Amino acid sequence: MQKKKGDFENFILRYRYNFEIYVVFFVNDIGIYSLLN
């Protein structure tokens, strides 16, 4: 049970890290798109 909880926490941390990167790229894309128009 303890190991499973650790794996779940690692998954959440990894997901949150990837989500933050995705948001940064998404915002950058919108910024570039706005500059082009």
pLDDT for position 16 = 86
Does the pLDDT at position 1 exceed 70?
A: no
Q: Find tokens 């650790």 and name the residue.
A: 6
Residues 6-37 have pLDDT tens digits of 888 988 888 888 888 888 888 888 887 787 76
**Calpha distance 35→22 (Å, rounded):** 20
In the chain, the largest separation of any two C-alpha atoms, in whole Å, equals: 54
State CA 37 to chain mean position distance.
27
pLDDT for position 17 = 85
pLDDT for position 28 = 85
What 8-state DSSP symbol labels residue 1?
A: -
pLDDT for position 6 = 86
**Calpha distance 28→5 (Å, rounded):** 35
**Calpha distance 13→28 (Å, rounded):** 23
